[in-house]
Amino acid sequence: HTVRKLALAFPEVEEGTSYGTTAFRIRKKLLARMHEDGVTLILKMDYETRDFLLQVNPGVYYVTDHYRSYPYVLLRLSEIDPKELQKRLEHAWKSCAPKRLAEAYDQGSDT
């Protein structure tokens, strides 16, 4: 599964479950989880980036009323380019990772 491979490539990411679906966390902070429909990813994202992506690429990104007040976006896995998915997962990881870990990652270290 592409999401699993990409998410677990980041330091300290662990796979588990959330609401009965596959989820990925770093130090107990949720980065992403599969939606119950099995074809949508729920991804942590700041509101500004989310609002931008909702405007420029509504075929990939969307939000339901349930998620409107939370810093998450829903994305259609069948419609997203794997490189863009990797970039979005990296952004989510950096937003949740401890500062030192993110800095080490940026410097090319895997510690």
Position 111 scores a pLDDT of 45
Position 47 scores a pLDDT of 96
Q: Which residues have C-beta within 8 Å of that of residue 11, sequence separation ≥ 6?
A: 26, 97, 101, 104, 105, 110, 111
Position 109 scores a pLDDT of 55
**Phi, psi torsion values for 83, nearest 5 degrees:** -70, -40
Position 108 scores a pLDDT of 83
Position 30 scores a pLDDT of 96
pLDDT tens-place values along the chain, 111 residues long: 799 999 999 999 999 999 999 999 999 999 999 999 999 999 999 999 999 999 999 999 999 999 999 999 999 999 999 999 999 999 999 999 999 999 999 998 544
